[in-house]
């Protein structure tokens, strides 16, 4: 596999910092560009981040002295310097949409952690183990943009990456209704307890925009490619509540589901445990060896114990059981800034490289 030169847009923020750590020592990707706002441009990365470094590991030495570029003003130079970029900028949605489109039109592929293009119908929103076939729309997107190499691919919202994987192997039984309550870590808001002391010993029962994303995005993930666009699935119906909890990392979901023809509990557990996706088949560098781990104990999975499973890229599931109102209920968990953000975007890039789209 060739070594790809990559850039990180929004490198100074929390997800950008996570990209920096995930890409450190990556066997395929070499970080050569770090970009952020005009306020950070011209400074070394360590100067630009300063005391805001929020990762649990030291800043990689290989990036500390890289001079930060301006993600907007230096766009042409950045696009010429890299094979593709990861995007985690903190801007208004229309500004992000314009920025990512501009990079793609410069023939620079964009692996986005942002929501701006999730509902652009020829932009694949990928959970690599679940819908790798959606990458086929890239060629149609390129035709629309008038480019030969550039395109945009996005990852889904972090909230759905705990429960959608667990439901996916069960779709053959006709999942028709899902209720999910997510319990989401403060890093999902780009915060730590030091920067958000109000969250200590507190729960906030609302996260702006999160419930709509949690209800709608699974339908695009489970949609079909038709006539060059992704047509979302019409079912199941979703109802979600998203709650901010005093946890550093890890999004947990309590899920209830109905089926056209409900399988038995043992069969559901077996299907979840044995499920493998395209990243596992290809042996991609960031792919967990086992996508989903099932825990038999009544008190598992636990956020603190399981969020870092397989470098934070595995999904943990437990307590699959019958329910008095629904056919089944279960608990699931994923790491929101690894599987749900930077790690998921890196895995998406690995898939697109392996399949020849980059």
Point out the residues that are catalytic.
Answer: 158, 251
Report d(CA 8, CA 33) in Å as an integer: 6
Pairing of strands 229-231, 175-184: unpaired
CA distance readout (Å), 72 to 79, 117, 180, 232, 257: 11, 18, 38, 32, 44
Report d(CA 75, CA 96) in Å as an integer: 13
Q: What is the CA radius of gyration of the chain?
A: 20
**Can you read off the two tokens belonging to residue 139?**
């060629």
Classify residue 114 as left (phi > 0), alpha (psi -120 to 50) or beta. Answer: beta
- Short-list 273, 242, 274, CA closest to 255: 242
- φ and ψ of 144, to 5 deg: -65, -40
Q: Judge whether 337 and 187 are in contact, CB under 8 Å.
A: yes
């Amino acid at each position: 596999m060739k070594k790809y030169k990559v850039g990180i847009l929004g490198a100074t923020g929390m997800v950008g910092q996570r990209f920096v750590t995930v890409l450190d020592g990556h066997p395929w990707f070499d970080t050569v560009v770090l970009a952020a706002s005009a306020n950070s441009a011209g400074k070394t990365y360590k100067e630009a981040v300063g005391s805001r470094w929020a990762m649990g590991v030291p800043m990689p030495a290989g990036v500390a002295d890289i001079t930060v570029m301006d993600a907007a003003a230096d766009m042409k130079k950045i696009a010429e310097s890299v094979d593709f970029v990861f995007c985690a900028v903190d801007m208004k949605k229309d500004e992000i949409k314009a920025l990512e489109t501009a990079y793609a039109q410069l023939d620079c592929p964009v692996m986005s952690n942002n929501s701006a293009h999730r509902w652009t119908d020829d932009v694949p929103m990928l959970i690599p183990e679940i819908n790798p076939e959606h990458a086929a729309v890239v060629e149609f997107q390129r035709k629309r943009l008038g480019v030969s190499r550039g395109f945009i691919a996005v990852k889904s919202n972090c909230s759905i990456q705990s429960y959608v994987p667990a439901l996916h192997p069960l779709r053959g039984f006709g999942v028709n209704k899902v209720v999910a309550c997510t319990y989401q870590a403060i890093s999902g808001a780009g915060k730590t307890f030091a920067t958000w002391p109000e969250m200590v010993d507190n729960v906030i029962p609302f996260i702006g925009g999160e419930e709509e994303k949690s209800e709608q995005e699974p339908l695009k993930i489970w949609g079909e490619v038709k006539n060059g666009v992704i047509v979302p699935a019409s079912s199941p119906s979703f109802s979600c509540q998203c709650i901010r909890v005093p946890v550093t990392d890890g999004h947990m979901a309590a899920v209830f589901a109905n089926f056209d023809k409900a399988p038995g509990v043992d069969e559901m557990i077996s299907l979840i445990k044995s499920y493998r996706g395209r990243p596992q088949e290809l042996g991609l560098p960031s792919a967990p060896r086992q996508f989903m781990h099932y825990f038999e104990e009544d008190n598992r999975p636990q956020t603190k114990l399981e969020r870092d499973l397989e470098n934070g890229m595995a999904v943990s599931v437990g307590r699959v059981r019958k329910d008095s109102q629904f056919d089944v209920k279960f608990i699931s968990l994923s790491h929101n800034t690894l599987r749900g953000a930077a790690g998921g975007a890196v895995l998406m890039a690995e898939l697109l490289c392996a399949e020849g789209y980059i």
